[in-house]
Amino acid sequence: MSATAGIYTLGCKVNQYESEAIAEALMRAGITVCDPTEVCSLYIINTCTVTAESDRKARQFIRRALGQNPHALILVTGCFAQVDPAQIAAIDGVDYICGNREKLSVVRAAEALLAQGCKNERPTVAVSSLEDAPFEAMQITRFGRTRAYVKIEDGCEQHCAYCIIPAARGKIRSKAPANVIAEVRALAESGCREVVLTGIETSAYGRDLGDYRLGDLLRDLDRETGIGRIRLGSLDPSLIRDRFVEQIAPLASIAPHFHLSLQSGADHVLRLMRRPYSADMARAAIRRLRDAFPQAGLTTDIIVGFPQETEDDFAESLAFLREARFLDAHIFAYSRRPGTEAAGMPGQIPEPVKRARSAALIAAQDEMHRLLLDEAVAAGDTISVLFETQQDGIAQGHTPSFYPVRVAAERDLRGLELPVKPIGHDGQSLIAVCCQA
């Protein structure tokens, strides 16, 4: 019987991509990849360290995996492993730890441990410095019925006051354009309908490649791969300048959905966070996108309760949220991350205040989401939907602008892109009928 591996992934889309690359490498090595809730020969935990809660979840899963199989091999990689390998090594039962420089080394380590036939008495710690680290060569060939995440960039150099990620990921490094194009072309030829280009700082793609930037990559992907739809990961508003928008607006494959990593609508808070833009710069970015893509769906992230955030600051963020008409927003209360500047800042906001501000923003965003759904129904336009899931006679998918859509369907619509007409909504998704049999 072949060895089995469960991969448990925490955190961002970059980690999801890297876990898929690890899974494919395991399968090439003859190791069967299973759901991590199953009893497996070995477990790989791909960690996040954005918050203390992320670290806790990684430790918890290590112990849960050993509870499922006390003899299982435990291999830990990712951002938590890069930043604090000693804390992971202190957990009984861990066999191997590596960071973010050579994540695929977990596959070679797994093979060596399986050949060894027993667990290590002490964990092997193979965490290397990220100084001058190259972009690790990875690619994927598998995808869901519709969509694949493709990592194009690693590292971040912004050093925002709340964020540990520069220490966990190192400097900006970009995947060679030819390699991105080849990977996306192969996915498209295998039937993939949509790719999401992702990175730790996607907007920074190409800063280490001379004059070649993200807009150039999008142009070349549009020309050379045959992919139906390209979405972008989180974008810094400072990227959205005239030249970039002029480059991407004519491209047929660019989905008119943009996720802006806003974080706050108040200049005072943005300065405290060390973000490289002002609220007015973000407003200008939104105007540029809406002028070039009239049907654009915009989504965002907002942190509330950042140290020293005043009631006036919060009111500015709330007003910005309503003005921007975001389709969706990931709103969360600030939590201290040890090792960051913000953790030691004076003026920490009491938890009840953070919860109240978060609840108010979420309520305002829910109201805006329903308003935008109302407008889509009232417009009466036929829209295209790429269907992703189907259960109990209901197919679900997204429009190019990322509006969620539900359709009653007897046949399996997964993987199909079809025209639909919205007839209502349930507060979360548009309810529509297909315009073709």
Tens digit of pLDDT for each residue in 130-140?
999 999 999 99
Return the pLDDT at 437. 58
Model confidence pTM above 0.85? yes
Tokens of 300: 């965002």
pLDDT tens, position by position, 393-432: 999 999 999 999 999 998 999 999 999 999 999 999 999 9
Residue 405 CB partners (closer than 8 Å, separation 6+)? 383, 385, 396, 397, 398, 399, 420, 422, 429, 430, 431, 432
User: Is 143's pLDDT higher than 90?
Assistant: no
Three-class SS of 12-37: CHHHHHHHHHHHHHHHHCCCEEECCC
The Cα 437–Cα 435 span in angstroms is 7
Inter-CA distances, 337 with 159, 261, 315, 424, Å:
13, 19, 25, 42
At 1, the pLDDT band (50, 70, 90 cuts) reads: low
Average pLDDT along the chain: 96
pLDDT tens, position by position, 39-94: 999 999 999 999 989 999 999 999 999 999 999 999 999 999 999 999 999 999 99
3-state helix, strand, coil in the chain (%, to 5): 40, 25, 40
Residue 310 CB partners (closer than 8 Å, separation 6+)? 268
Which residues pair with residue 297 across a beta bridge? Answer: 257
Question: Are 281 and 253 a contacting pair, CB within 8 Å?
Answer: no
The Cα 406–Cα 394 span in angstroms is 6
pLDDT tens, position by position, 194-233: 999 999 999 999 999 999 999 999 999 999 999 999 999 9
At 144, the pLDDT band (50, 70, 90 cuts) reads: confident
pLDDT tens, position by position, 277-329: 999 999 999 999 999 999 999 999 999 999 999 999 999 999 999 999 999 99
The Cα 175–Cα 206 span in angstroms is 8
Return the pLDDT at 83. 97
Q: State whether residue 282 is helix, strand or coil.
A: helix
Q: State whether residue 290 is helix, strand or coil.
A: helix
Q: What domains are there in the chain, each with its CATH number?
A: 4-126 (3.40.50.12160), 147-371 (3.80.30.20), 380-434 (2.40.50.140)
Order the strands of the 297-304 sheet from edge to edge.
Answer: 257-263, 297-304, 328-333
At 192, the pLDDT band (50, 70, 90 cuts) reads: very high
| H or E element that contains 4 | strand 4-9
The Cα 83–Cα 86 span in angstroms is 9
Question: CA torsion sign, 50 to 55 to 56 to 62?
Answer: positive
